[in-house]
């Protein structure tokens, strides 16, 4: 059975398209291209790709990654500017045996040489957001709580699992800042023999638990993706609070090789989209109780329409 799961409501239109392609037999990597590029290309979504949130120098630096769960190939482009689809660059990088993780200028040079489209990713809207923020912000600038990553895991009809991410990271981040999204094991992980996972939230905290790898490891021990997601989030959340008194936003999704999926969070506003052979693409809101158990509630059309940018 095929499954696509992707973070946040913003994935809906991409997953709808991806589901049709899944039924037509496309590979997990191709499904991720469809889902992630749909979000990257739409400037309505302010935290991914074109129209993404600028750093403190008003530059749109983007992070993206891809992992092939059959071969364990990974490709990552981080802090990359002026390229239309960072995810496609990351996917292309996964074909390289070495030099498959590139940052900044090196990633841009690679992308241009490989024929990827050069594009100014700063939109008028994003510029406006930046200028407004600068006005109200007291110096020194702090990364604003405005972010969100598209993280997507697909299991195709051939049994292949792939995971991918794309994000502009934290609004007002430092130039050169890299989040968890392009870091294997933190923002994403995929192994077709087990399952795959992706994360979204405060990269600096997600990295501390290598959370995506941890979820796949727990699934390898036999846990259902839902139990694995909850345990990984709750353990890291508790560990951060115990040692550092606070934990940033931690939200995760996962799929196993049987097509079962899970999602968990330590915040109130996490949503995800899932589609399977027999299940239309559907937006779910993740509800967390006091014990850290998470349930998935189908979002109403009204909620979907009013939460476009999440
Ligand atoms: N994890 C991303 C980062 O820290 C942001 C997000 O997913 O909200 O760059």
pLDDT for 147 equals 76
Tell me whether residue 149 is one of the annotated catalytic residues.
yes
Task: For residues 299 and 149, give the distance between their C-alpha atoms in angstroms, rounded to a whole number.
Answer: 19
Torsion of CA 229, 232, 233, 237, to 10 degrees: 170
- Cβ(170) – ligand 1 distance below 6 Å: yes
Give the pLDDT confidence score for residue 310 in this predicted structure.
54
5 CA to centre of ligand 1 in angstroms: 17
CB of 69 within 6 A of ligand 1: the answer is no
Domains of the chain: 3-305 (3.60.20.30)
Q: Which atom of ligand 1 is nearest to the CA of 200?
A: 7
Neighbours of 120 (CB within 10 A): 10
Whether 248 lines ligand 1, by a CB cut-off of 6 Å, is: no
State which ligand 1 atom lies nearest to the alpha carbon of 179.
Answer: 9
CA of 171 to the centre of ligand 1 (A): 10
Q: Which residues of the chain have pLDDT under 70?
A: 137-141, 309-310
Give the C-alpha separation, 250 to 264, whole Å. Answer: 8
Specify the residue with its C-alpha closest to ligand 1, atom 9. Answer: 169
Enter the pTM of the model.
0.97
85 lines ligand 1 (CB under 6 A): no
Cβ-contact 155, 257 below 8 angstroms: yes
Ligand 1 in reach of 86 Cβ (< 6 A): no
For ligand 1, whether the C-beta of 52 sits within 6 Å is: no
Given the residues 149, 165, 200, 265, select the one marked as catalytic. 149
pLDDT value of position 141: 67
C-alpha distances (whole Å) from 214 to each of 42, 140, 146, 233 are 32, 35, 26, 10
């Amino acid at each position: 059975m095929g499954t696509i799961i992707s973070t946040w409501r913003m994935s809906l239109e991409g997953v709808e398209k991806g589901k049709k392609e899944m039924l037509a037999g496309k590979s997990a990597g191709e499904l991720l291209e469809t889902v992630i590029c749909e979000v990257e290309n739409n400037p309505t979504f302010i935290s991914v790709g074109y129209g993404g949130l600028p750093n403190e120098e008003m530059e749109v630096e983007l992070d993206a990654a891809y992992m092939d769960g059959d071969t364990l190939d990974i490709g990552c482009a981080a802090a990359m500017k002026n390229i239309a689809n960072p995810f496609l660059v990351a996917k292309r990088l996964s074909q390289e045996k070495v030099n498959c993780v590139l940052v900044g200028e090196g990633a841009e040079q690679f992308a241009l040489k490989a024929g990827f489209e050069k594009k100014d990713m700063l939109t008028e809207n994003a510029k406006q957001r930046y200028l407004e923020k600068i006005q109200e912000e007291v110096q020194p600038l702090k990364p604003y709580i405005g972010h969100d990553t598209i993280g997507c895991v697909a299991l195709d009809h051939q049994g292949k699992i792939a995971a991918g991410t794309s994000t502009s990271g934290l609004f007002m981040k430092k130039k050169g800042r890299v989040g968890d999204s392009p870091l294997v094991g933190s923002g994403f992980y995929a192994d077709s023999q087990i399952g795959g996972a992706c994360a979204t939230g405060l990269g600096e905290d997600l990295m501390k638990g290598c959370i995506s790898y941890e979820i796949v490891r727990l699934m390898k021990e036999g846990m259902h993706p839902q139990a694995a997601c909850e345990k990984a989030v709750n353990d890291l959340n508790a560990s951060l609070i115990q040692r550092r008194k606070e934990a940033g936003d931690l939200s995760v999704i996962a799929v196993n090789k049987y097509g079962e999926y899970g999602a968990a969070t330590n915040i109130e506003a996490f949503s995800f989209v899932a589609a399977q052979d027999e299940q239309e693409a559907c937006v779910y809101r993740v509800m967390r109780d006091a014990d850290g158990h998470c349930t998935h509630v189908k979002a109403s059309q009204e909620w979907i329409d009013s939460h476009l940018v999440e």
